[in-house]
Amino acid sequence: MTVEIEALTWGGRGLARHEGKIIFVSKAVPGDKLLVGLDRIKSRYAEGHIRAVLAPGPDRVEPKCKFFSHCGGCQWLSTAYARQLREKELLLRSILRRYLPEGGPEAIVGAEPDRGYRHKGDFHVHLSGDTLRIGFYQEGSHHVVNLDFCLLFDRAYNIFYQNLRSVLREGPRAEALERLTLDRDEDGAHYAAHLHLREGASEEEGAALARLGESAGLGGGLVTPVREPGRILARWGRPWTRYTLPGAEAGAPDLRMQADVRSFTQAHYPMNRKLVGTVREWLGLARHERLLDLYSGIGNFSVPLASVCREVVAVESGPTAHEDAKENARINGLLNLRHVLGEAAPWVAKMAAASESFDAVLLDPPRTGARDVLETLVHLTPKRILYVSCNLPALERDLEILGESGYRPLRMQAWDLFPQTYSVETLCLLARS
């Protein structure tokens, strides 16, 4: 059928209408007139792919990537960046329309740069006959796209990845590999990798892969079973990366941060620096106040915030990130950070039972959101809550729960930490009405 794309949707597809039915089209751009082939038809909607671009929309650009038509790594590479920002603002306003603060959200913060920004990639590995495929999954499947470059990474990263990929593909034990995580320092000089062994692989195969990685120029790395990332089979060099965050005051030295290659970090170093500064500004912590940082990770927020308040209690469930956070507090000389290892919900319940209270709470949950902790969290009576979310539908649900306890959004802003994809980071500051 022939359709015209009206907008982009959460999930990344274009939206069109045909005879009263909504049509979702992958890799489409608003304004496109397309010939579409349908892959899935339901009573109220259908899903399709582009057969031909009959007339391009005004914001369609050449993606300049030979993998874009079928790779699942990004969805909006064919959409001009200014239009991507506009569509993300529209998504925020549409999904969170019932919870927008008075005056609406603040202007979206665009990324600089919007390509070549990622410092970390998770690449899948699949052996097919004599060919070892390394890359991202194809959109909507577990078929591995044999990726030799990606525009989300800069030239230096792509060159290093290509060399590592060649070494692994030619190695005698490459079939033991199921996944590869490649990370890089902020200054670009040091690369570290996490090699995930498939089920049934031996320690001998892990040691052989470690030698291959080291020979490819990796400055450090770990080899673990894919389902047991805590069980290290081989280790070499420095298996962590480093970056910096701005100091507490103008002119203060940067804070030094490090992250184990298994720990989560934001994908965009320059945008993360700006984000941390805005979080500190919005919370406006005073020297006498206590902060609870839930899903605190390696201390990306808790370390810089500890320098401006009395105490930070940081709760993190991942053992590796928990250890990173303790080390980051140590190397920055912070003594007012209390690190708690465990799931957020039971720890919040324990704190509430002990009648603890906090002046402010920072929430930075995974994509699933923070539903499990919210009903108990309000018993800690924080004056304000700053929610950092990468999933607008989950944030909508959680804002409804917080609203039932009297918390209302005061400020809201989208941050484009994921250019060329539909994902967007959202800051939402709430206070009890």
pLDDT tens per residue across span 13-55: 999 999 889 999 999 999 999 999 999 999 999 999 999 999 9
pLDDT in tens, 365-408: 999 999 999 999 999 999 999 999 999 999 999 999 999 999 99
Buried b / exposed e across 382-402, counting CB within 10 Å, b at 16+? Answer: bebbbbbbbbbebbbebbebb
Would you say residue 129 has pLDDT above 90?
no
Residue pair 233/208 in contact (Cβ under 8 Å)? The answer is no
Average pLDDT, the chain: 96
Would you say residue 217 has pLDDT above 80?
yes
The domain defined by 120-241 carries CATH number 1.10.3720.10 = no
Least confident of 54-68, 89-103, 165-179, 183-197: 165-179
Would you say residue 75 has pLDDT above 90?
yes
The active-site residue out of 71, 150, 390, 428 is 390
| Residues pairing with 320 in the sheet | none
The proportion of the chain whose per-residue pLDDT surpasses 70, expressed as a percent, equals: 100
Q: Judge whether 96-113+267-432 and 120-241 match in fold.
A: no
For the sheet containing 337-341, what is the strand order? 106-109, 407-415, 425-432, 384-389, 360-363, 290-294, 311-316, 337-341
pLDDT in tens, 291-331: 999 999 999 999 999 999 999 999 999 999 999 999 999 99
The domain defined by 96-113+267-432 carries CATH number 3.90.1150.10 = no
Q: What is the pLDDT of residue 287?
A: 96
Please report, for the chain, the start and end positions of each structural domain, with discontinuous segments joined by +. Answer: 2-75, 96-113+267-432, 120-241
428 annotated active-site: no
Would you say residue 251 has pLDDT above 90?
no
3-class DSSP assignment, residue 247: coil
Query: CA-CA distances (angstroms) from residue 24 to 8, 35, 49, 226, 424?
Result: 9, 13, 8, 34, 20
Query: CA-CA distances (angstroms) from residue 50 to 32, 35, 98, 403?
Result: 10, 6, 34, 42
Query: CA-CA distances (angstroms) from residue 84 to 53, 71, 416?
Result: 19, 19, 9
The CATH class of the 2-75 domain is mainly beta
Q: What is the pLDDT of residue 249?
A: 79
Token pair in block for residue 374:
């919210």
Would you say residue 172 has pLDDT above 80?
no
Would you say residue 127 has pLDDT above 90?
no
Surface-to-core class of residue 227, CB atoms within 10 Å of its CB (0-12 exposed, 13-18 middle, 19+ buried): exposed
97 confidence band (pLDDT: 50, 70, 90)? very high
Which letter does DSSP use for residue 157 in this model?
A: H
Q: What is the pLDDT of residue 41?
A: 94
3-class DSSP assignment, residue 389: strand
pLDDT in tens, 143-152: 999 999 999 9
Surface-to-core class of residue 100, CB atoms within 10 Å of its CB (0-12 exposed, 13-18 middle, 19+ buried): middle
